[in-house]
Amino acid sequence: MENIVLTAAAVEAAKNQYATNAEHTGKSLRLYLDGKGCDGFFYGVTFDQAEATDLHFLQHDIDVIVDPETIEFVHGSTIDWVDDERGRGFLVDNPRHSKFRGKFYKRPSWQAKFTSRTATP
């Protein structure tokens, strides 16, 4: 399974948050799903306590955690830090995002139907 990747900007932002916010001390950077719309999932990134079942992706001394139910939808994602017209904060880029689009997606039965319908002959 592919790792979760932090860009240099995300690493710098996370380390800055650790240095300037005591409430983040001892916490990991959690990648999670924050709902789903017609165009796919909404992602969230926050500082959180790790649970015993969490998967860990350590990069540049930043512990990125994902729960086991979420990993199948987010593995291979990149977490970046942006401060531009899109806003300011962590941004998740998931190259597999389009696989999970559509309001009728249901796991795993719809995923099997989707795969069979989009298979190239």
pLDDT at site 16: 96
> Which of 106 and 30 is assigned the larger pLDDT?
30
Determine the Cα–Cα distance for residues 103 and 101; give it in Å rounded to an integer. 7
pLDDT at site 39: 65
101: confidence class by pLDDT, cuts 50, 70, 90: very low
* Mean pLDDT in residue range 56-62: 94
Determine the Cα–Cα distance for residues 87 and 82; give it in Å rounded to an integer. 7
* Mean pLDDT in residue range 40-67: 93
32: confidence class by pLDDT, cuts 50, 70, 90: very high
Domain chopping of the chain, boundaries: 5-118
CATH class of the domain at 5-118: mainly beta
Quick one: tokens of 105? 């997606």
Quick one: tokens of 70? 């979420």
pLDDT at site 67: 93
* Mean pLDDT in residue range 20-34: 93
46-64 core/surface letters (b: 16 or more CB in 10 A; e: else): ebeeeeeebbebebeebeb
Task: Give the predicted TM-score (pTM) of the model.
Answer: 0.76
